[in-house]
Structure 1
Amino acid sequence: MLDRRTVIAAGMALTATQSVASPRVPRPGRPVDPAIVGVDGMQLRRHGKPYRFVGANMWYAAWLGGAAAPGGRARLTREFDRLQALGVRNLRILGSAELSPLKNSITPAFRDKGAVYNEALLTGLDWTLAEMAKRGMTAVIYLTNFWEWSGGMMTYLYWVNGGRYINMNDPAHPWPEFPDRNAAFYTDAAAQTLYRNYIRAVVSRTNTVTGQPYATDPTIMAWQLANEPRPGGSDAVAIPNLPAFYHWIDGTARYIKMLDTNHLICTGSEGLKGSIEREDVVLDAHRSSAIDYVTTHIWPNNWSWMEAGDLAGTYDGGAAKVADYIASHVRLARRLDKPLVIEEFGYPRDGADAFDPSIATTYKDRFYGQIYAAIEADVVASGPLAGSNFWAWNGEARSQHADHRFQRGDLAYMGDPPHEPQGWYGVFDSDAGTQAAIQTHAGRLNV
């Protein structure tokens, strides 16, 4: 992420960034504390047993966890209780956000360009982890974002390049200019210093609620380098950038291992869709001994594998592509001998522009069932699939505006981030069919 504390720390970060031939980092297969999730070949393990989970994405948890506005601890407690009742025991949450001029980026943020970070949000993260611990949940915490909605990599570049940036989906800068520009992040020494300084602050933090150092907290399952990092958007940029991209993954993961020898580390990759559709890129991005498991994301609507306005006619074709996508990543994880987590998957409600919780979720529920059935079958086959995190939990929140658009200052945080229609992919507390699919799968997996 962003800034750090001292000139010495900045120098250490740069040295680590530039260290190519680092020694092998052992994977934490058997942590000293058996409550901390470790790895054993293609399995996650906890308390000496295979650790499999039904999970959710809840990026906004730290915002609700704060003691003052925009905090909402009473609501967060209710949401955790609902998720626990469904059998959800892992949450993927945002542990960073960079104060940004980018359109639709969330405020408040964990940090700006300076070396003093937002203690209110960090305390919100502390409180979130403390409440998760009470419920036996574990957390995956991502430490920056490739995309704009939490500031992310473009904001780091903006801080160090004299104030230049572009917005995602700006007609003046059509796709793939945004991801191509973001690729500069991996080799920008000044941006990397800011990012590593923030990593040090979070990973080395002691929870102000529990007194537990983050580095020894069993509630944390993994640190994640970023949400959906890509080597670029076009082949013309991404392919020449691959060595720098791999180096950034390996070097950043090793840097975190220096700060925390206990916890797992993952990339946050979408898999093939974030890897210019090349299996060798997925393999090389996850080959580092400092990367403990493989991740993939599945978005049939975003990838035009189906049409929201014609689900009856296009669902089956999309489902076939989903099955192939899962099978490809299972095969890749087997080659790497590492666990695999489907840490994002999302599907719209029935019909185009359908965001209100009163609209049915017939096809969404079928899609969830497909994902869950694939995981259950892979468990029977002793495969690498360890769990999943649906995108995302909306809970009791409802859109505050007729156009279902998030506006800065809104406090009804949903799983749908601020750049998306509120209610597009998230699961509401009233979505009985989707919750039934989640709970049924949890009953089969949480044994």
Structure 2
Amino acid sequence: MTALRFTRRAALAGGAAALAAPRIGAQAPTPGFVARDGVALTLNGRRHRYAGTNMWYAAWLGADAPFGDRDRLRRELDRLAALGVTNVRANASAELSPLRNSVRPAFRDSSASYNETLLQGLDFFLAELGRRDMRAVLYLANFWEWSGGMATYLYWTNGGRYIDMNDPAHPWPEFPDFASGFYASAPAVALFRAYVRALVGRVSTVTGRPYRDDPAIMAWQLANEPRPGGSESAGRRNLSAFYRWVEETAALIKAIDPNHLVSTGNEGLKGCLESPDIVAALNAIPGIDYMTIHVWPQNWSWIDPADMAGSWPRCEALVRDYVAQHVALAQRAGKPLVIEEFGFPRDNVAYDAGTTTAWRDRYYRLIYESVLADMRSGGPSAGTNFWAWSGEGRPAHPDHHFRRGDTAWLGDPPHEPQGWYGLFDSDASGCEIVRAHGAAVAALG
């Protein structure tokens, strides 16, 4: 999920020239695996579209450990399947970090010894998806601090220097400018790629199947919300290293695992200095199979949570325009489009289950209606993943803050108020909107 503050600039008329983006032809399909054919995702020779969710904590829940709960994971996946959700985007990385809001336990520290307990939690999650004919998108790093992320790789290799997100001593955009130094750091990138090799090349302890041969994985994702920088100056300075990191990492994954798709995890314009040229260049990289975008009205100050009614018309217009711009950019790139994060707060700045969600419901309908219209017209829209599924999880503390050691996993990561964006199993109206969308997508065939 995205950070809480963003630069907001007009779309750039100039800037870095976009790479040529011819129509991308068909990936040689492997039966049972999602593939790409131009602007379409395909499965067994038919167009593949899906309704999905985000469940970043799935591997933690799947671990056979005090912090895990395999029975709950099974129940959550059953609930999602009943709603017509067939795709779950989850975190497959976390770095042991001094950053204030970073989750523990982590998948790894600075050594080459990885957390087998958590990896087996990921194995279990994928096996349970496979039993339900569901698929995962697994991200391999994080631009933000809540799972350690790129800033932690830098900390491990720069002599111990780091910046905490939202530290008053380091105001925005110092953190993203710092984290974006990752792309040009050869030692940091080498540590990251060692983990990529180990994970993508892993053999499941549950199924005995190599990950590369597991159709329960739809795609590997380079990172959660990688961006070239926070400020325009840093972002422009980092562009060459950013593109190179994307191209080389995608090629590495494809060399280990030719069966699965690869995507960036980028937010779209908001993660590309608001430059259409940068979005186009990023998605023209041959190893990237489909375009991703994220849509966060409150984080981007498109909606005022204290005045939902008054700020909604502007919000709606901006959301429609953002989606439409990326549909056009996906057509230009000749690749499918997935809105893989979209979230909205509960009414009246509330966080608890049982509070109302009228405006969130309206937002979900807006996203779903926009996507379905494009799907029905044969456009590049291929899927949606709402942020996020909290299911039966509930905030553990009255102040809704996450504390290290908590095991009441919610869709809201540790740096956010617990209950802010997550969809609870008791949110009847929201669950019905998701169910109706899943049915509508399935009906397209």
TM-score normalised to structure 2 length: 0.93
Please give the secondary structure, in 2, of the residue aligned with 1:324.
helix
Equivalences for 1:236-385 in 2 at 5 Å?
Answer: 236-352=233-349, 354-385=350-381
Partner AA of 2:391 in structure 1:
G
Q: Distance in 1 between matches of 2:425 and 2:291?
A: 30
Structure 1 segments (4+ residues) deviating >6 Å: none
Partner AA of 1:366 in structure 2:
R
Partner AA of 1:133 in structure 2:
G
Q: Distance in 1 between matches of 2:281 and 2:69?
A: 41
Equivalences for 1:155-170 in 2 at 5 Å?
Answer: 155-170=152-167
The residue that corresponds to 2:16 in the other structure is none
Deviation at 1:316, TM superposition (A): 1.7
Please give the secondary structure, in 1, of the residue aligned with 2:432.
helix
Deviation at 1:315, TM superposition (A): 1.2
The residue that corresponds to 1:30 in the other structure is 28
The residue that corresponds to 2:231 in the other structure is 234
Q: Distance in 1 between matches of 2:199 and 2:392?
A: 29
Unaligned runs of 5+ in 2: 1-23
After superposition, the Cα gap between the structure-2 partners of 1:28 and 1:130, relative to the gap in structure 1 and judged at 3 Å, is farther
1:94 pairs with 2:91: yes
Q: 1:188 aligns with which of 171, 177, 185?
A: 185
Please give the secondary structure, in 1, of the residue aligned with 2:303.
coil
Q: Distance in 1 between matches of 2:343 and 2:26?
A: 31
Unaligned runs of 5+ in 1: 1-25
Please give the secondary structure, in 2, of the residue aligned with 1:424.
coil
Deviation at 1:241, TM superposition (A): 1.2
The residue that corresponds to 1:63 in the other structure is 60
Is this contact kept in 1: 2:55–2:388, CA < 8 A? yes
Q: Distance in 2 between matches of 1:358 and 1:388?
A: 25
Partner AA of 1:122 in structure 2:
L
The residue that corresponds to 2:198 in the other structure is 201
Deviation at 1:31, TM superposition (A): 2.3
Residues 211-220 or 142-151, more deviating: 211-220
Please give the secondary structure, in 2, of the residue aligned with 1:308.
coil
Q: State the identity %.
A: 57
Deviation at 1:29, TM superposition (A): 2.1
After superposition, the Cα gap between the structure-2 partners of 1:137 and 1:27, relative to the gap in structure 1 and judged at 3 Å, is farther
The residue that corresponds to 2:393 in the other structure is 397
1:437 pairs with 2:416: no
Please give the secondary structure, in 1, of the residue aligned with 2:431.
helix
CA deviation digits over 1:395-445, x for unaligned, max 9?
Answer: 001111000000000000000000000000000000001011100011110
Deviation at 1:111, TM superposition (A): 0.3
The residue that corresponds to 1:419 in the other structure is 415
Is this contact kept in 1: 2:143–2:223, CA < 8 A? yes
Q: Distance in 2 between matches of 1:414 and 1:423?
A: 7
Equivalences for 1:206-217 in 2 at 5 Å?
Answer: 206-217=203-214
Partner AA of 1:291 in structure 2:
I
The residue that corresponds to 1:408 in the other structure is 404
Is this contact kept in 1: 2:29–2:44, CA < 8 A? no
Is this contact kept in 1: 2:25–2:38, CA < 8 A? no
Deviation at 1:248, TM superposition (A): 0.8
Partner AA of 1:30 in structure 2:
A
Q: 2:42 aligns with which of 38, 41, 45?
A: 45
Deviation at 1:27, TM superposition (A): 7.2
Partner AA of 1:29 in structure 2:
Q
Q: Distance in 1 between matches of 2:181 and 2:440?
A: 44
Q: 1:177 aligns with which of 171, 174, 186?
A: 174
Deviation at 1:28, TM superposition (A): 6.5
Is this contact kept in 1: 2:96–2:105, CA < 8 A? yes
Deviation at 1:47, TM superposition (A): 1.7
Deviation at 1:307, TM superposition (A): 0.3
Q: Distance in 2 between matches of 1:401 and 1:439?
A: 30
Q: Distance in 1 between matches of 2:59 and 2:439?
A: 28
Q: Distance in 2 between matches of 1:29 and 1:117?
A: 32
The residue that corresponds to 2:21 in the other structure is none
Deviation at 1:317, TM superposition (A): 1.1
Q: Distance in 1 between matches of 2:207 and 2:25?
A: 27
Deviation at 1:206, TM superposition (A): 0.6
Q: Distance in 2 between matches of 1:331 and 1:127?
A: 38
Deviation at 1:313, TM superposition (A): 0.8
The residue that corresponds to 1:5 in the other structure is none
TM-score normalised to structure 1 length: 0.93
